[in-house]
């Protein structure tokens, strides 16, 4: 075998990681995922595995699926070349009466069959009509077919066809690197697949925790011998530390983390600009009043694990670190509506109120049936319950038609000012540019009830698509890429409402608190000074009365004989201040 590798394939001896990948292909579970860094030779090793299996059993049928047909064909071509160029495998060469092309081929000893011994197809190609004992999914997810939620869902649906193709007792093996946090390779474990990960560098403790039980044994064994190797190359025979450093500089931190460390957390933190951890969540009734000041915090003791979090891995909701000051009425309240037709979209709405430059989301959601009577009535009722001062409607839909349909219902239920807005920018850029500074600056506060109702509001939706209608999911998964969200109605409504308050948010919360305290102090001081002046006048009156030899009820004297008290008793004329009548003892 060493001579075979060097003279025929031109390859050096396999490294420990390559040997472990080969072992996992042979002995691993029937449904498995091989995640290894770029350049380790996953496809080469798997091609060798395929011909080895065919040598042992020529009746086996293999289907190779890749993101593109060209990529799948390359796997088939290389496998066919192995058979032609390695003497021990040449007995597998197709006969003249058998299939033999770069798309598919039969092995010589195989019996006639509708399905070829090895066939390649793209993930979007014709999968039906084929039967296979083993399916090799080689990089079915790549950057250009998984950039949006719709693309990722399309791939996730396409690979379900594998179960219809696979023969009983068959094997499905995925080879690849994840492209994002919502990668297909992160979803497949929920469908019963086992994952084995071989990163390019020995991971840190935090990364080990993120990998969980997926990290390859050869990596764990090396780490168990000493922590000094953390950050060093796991396969120095192929990639030295200097080489990996050069690649990291070339790929960038996020790209290297994905392609070589198979770690999605950094990529998603950089790519998704809105994070739920930057919000402030209050489990209180925020409809009429709110705290005049809030201090954001993200320590573990502030986390709210009882709230369902649909954000990225590691994202959490947090209550405020402290609530200094008092609760005050809002400066104003608006309700934004993103209309929809009668299709799959929702009519999104959001109620956002403002106090001291901070925004409070007191209601948000989505309604089906577009412009039906029930939807229009529900929106008017929400506006009434929330006591909004203005309703803002995006006029792009129907060129203002929705506003005219809503007005009669508002006139009956809750007359309020209505304003229309139009947008001509790319939606994703407009939403992220509006919300990112507000959320990252911890200026957006959610009532906990809004988060709970958002999560439960999609229970009746199809299970696999329900999450994408939720506002909190839309917040945490939007990117600046066009079409990054399949549904964005609730998020768009929130962005419209927040945009309304942008100029008014230019306030210093602490200064407002200090100004409020100073105003109250001045008012209290003015009251005190007024009473003090009144006491001086009353004392003079008492002296005059005493000098006249008359006497008063002692309790009146003890009270200080305030003028308003004397007026009330009729002792002093309220207009002139002169003594009205005297009472003798």
Q: Look up residue 6 and give its DSSP letter.
A: I
What is the CATH number for 282? 3.30.420.40
What is the CATH number for 162? 3.40.50
Residue 579 lies in a domain: no
**Same domain for 461 and 541:** no
SS (H, E, C) 536-581: HHHHHHHHHHHHCCCCCCHHHHHCCCCHHHHHHHCCECCCCCCECC
Residue 546 belongs to domain spanning: 519-569
**Same domain for 347 and 289:** yes
- As given in the structure block, the two tokens for residue 583 are 């009472």
Of 53, 46, 171, 167, whose CA–CA distance to 113 is shortest? 167
Alpha helical stretches, state H, 42-85 = 42-56, 69-85
Let me know: does 44 contact 22? Beta carbons within 8 Å. no
Residue 20 lies in a domain: yes
Query: Which parts of 285-389 are beta strand (E)?
Result: 289-291, 327-329, 332-338, 347-355, 358-367
Residue with tokens 């939620």: 149
Let me know: does 348 contact 338? Beta carbons within 8 Å. yes
Residue 203 lies in a domain: yes
Sequential pLDDT tens for the chain (585 residues): 444 454 455 667 889 999 999 999 999 999 999 999 988 999 999 999 999 999 999 999 999 999 999 989 999 999 999 999 998 999 999 999 999 998 999 999 999 999 999 999 999 888 888 899 999 999 999 877 876 566 788 899 999 999 999 999 999 999 998 877 778 998 899 999 999 999 999 998 888 988 889 999 999 999 988 767 999 999 998 899 999 998 887 776 666 887 899 987 655 556 788 999 999 999 999 999 999 999 999 999 999 999 998 887 678 999 999 999 899 999 999 999 999 876 678 999 999 999 999 999 999 999 988 889 999 999 999 999 999 999 999 987 767 789 999 999 999 999 999 999 998 889 999 999 999 999 999 999 999 999 999 999 999 988 767 888 999 999 998 988 888 788 899 999 999 999 999 878 876 666 777 777 777 777 777 776 666 666 656 566 556 656 655 554 444 444 444 444 445 545 445 555 454 444 433
Please, which residues bridge with residue 175 across strands?
A: 34, 138
Q: Which residues contact 475 (CB under 8 A, 6 or more apart)?
A: 274, 276, 311, 435, 439, 491, 494
CA distance 107 to 116: 8
User: What are the angstrom distances between the C-alpha of 273 and each of 311, 312, 431, 436, 441?
Assistant: 12, 11, 11, 6, 12
Q: Which residues contact 82 (CB under 8 A, 6 or more apart)?
A: 47, 48, 51, 89
Per-residue DSSP letters for 188-253? GGGGT-EEEEE-SBPPPHHHHHHHGGGB-HHHHHHHHT-GGGTTSBS-TTTS-HHHHHHHHHHHHH
**Same domain for 526 and 394:** no
- As given in the structure block, the two tokens for residue 178 are 């994840």
For the four alpha carbons of 557, 559, 562 and 564, in that order, the dihedral sign comes to negative
Residue 287 lies in a domain: yes
**Same domain for 479 and 524:** no
**Same domain for 218 and 296:** no
The structural domain count of the chain equals 3
**Same domain for 205 and 286:** no
């Amino acid at each position: 075998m060493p001579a075979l590798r060097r003279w025929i394939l031109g390859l050096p001896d396999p490294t420990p990681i390559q040997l472990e990948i080969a072992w996992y292909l042979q002995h691993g579970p029937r449904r498995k995922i091989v995640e290894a860094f770029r350049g380790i030779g996953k496809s080469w090793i798997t091609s060798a595995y395929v011909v080895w299996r065919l040598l042992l059993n020529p009746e086996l049928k293999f289907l190779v699926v890749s993101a593109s047909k060209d990529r799948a064909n390359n796997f088939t071509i290389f496998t066919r070349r192995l058979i032609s160029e390695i003497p021990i495998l040449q007995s597998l060469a197709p006969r003249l009466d058998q299939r033999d092309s770069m798309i598919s081929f039969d092995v010589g000893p195989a019996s006639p069959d509708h399905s070829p011994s090895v066939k390649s197809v793209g993930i979007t190609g014709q999968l039906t009509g084929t039967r296979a004992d083993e399916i090799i999914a080689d990089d079915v997810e790549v950057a250009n077919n998984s950039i949006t939620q719709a693309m990722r869902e399309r791939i996730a649906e396409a690979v379900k066809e594998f179960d219809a193709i696979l023969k009983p007792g068959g094997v499905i093996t995925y080879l690849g690197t994840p492209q994002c946090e919502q990668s297909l390779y992160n979803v497949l474990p929920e469908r019963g697949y086992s994952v084995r990960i071989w990163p390019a560098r020995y991971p840190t403790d935090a990364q080990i925790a993120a990998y969980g039980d997926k990290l390859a044994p050869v990596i764990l064994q090396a780490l168990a011998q000493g922590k000094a190797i953390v950050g060093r190359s796991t396969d120095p025979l192929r990639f030295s530390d200097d080489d990996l450093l050069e690649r990291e500089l070339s790929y960038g931190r996020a790209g290297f983390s994905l392609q070589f460390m198979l770690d999605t957390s950094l990529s998603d933190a950089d790519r998704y600009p809105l994070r739920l951890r930057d919000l402030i969540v209050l489990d209180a009734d925020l409809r009429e009043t709110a705290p005049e000041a809030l201090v954001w915090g993200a320590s573990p003791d502030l986390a709210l694990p009882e709230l369902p979090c649909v954000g990225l891995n590691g994202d959490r909701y947090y209550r405020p670190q402290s609530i200094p000051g008092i609760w005050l009425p809002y400066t104003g309240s608006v309700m934004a509506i993103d209309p929809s037709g009668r299709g799959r979209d929702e009519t999104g709405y959001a109620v956002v109120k403002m106090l001291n430059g901070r925004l409070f989301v007191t209601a948000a959601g989505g309604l089906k049936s577009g412009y039906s009577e029930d939807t229009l009535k529900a929106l008017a009722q929400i506006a009434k319950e929330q006591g909004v001062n203005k309703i803002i409607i995006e006029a792009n839909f129907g060129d203002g038609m929705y506003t005219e349909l809503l007005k009669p219902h508002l006139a009956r239920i809750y007359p309020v000012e209505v304003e229309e807005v139009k947008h001509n920018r790319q939606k994703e850029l407009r939403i992220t540019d509006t919300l990112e500074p507000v959320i990252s600056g911890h200026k957006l506060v959610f009532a906990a009830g809004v988060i709970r109702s958002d999560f439960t509001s999609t229970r009746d939706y199809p299970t696999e698509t329900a999450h994408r209608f939720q506002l909190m999911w839309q917040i945490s998964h939007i990117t600046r890429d066009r079409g990054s969200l399949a549904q964005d109605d609730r998020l768009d409504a929130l962005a419209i409402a927040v945009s309304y308050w942008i100029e008014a948010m230019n306030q210093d919360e602490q200064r407002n608190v200090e100004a409020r305290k100073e105003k109250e102090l001045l008012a209290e001081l003015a009251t005190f000074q007024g009473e003090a002046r009144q006491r001086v006048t009353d004392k003079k009156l008492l002296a005059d009365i005493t000098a006249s030899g008359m006497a008063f009820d002692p309790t009146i004297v003890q009270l200080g004989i305030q003028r308003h008290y004397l007026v009330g008793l009729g002792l002093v004329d309220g207009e002139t201040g002169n003594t009205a009548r005297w009472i003798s003892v």
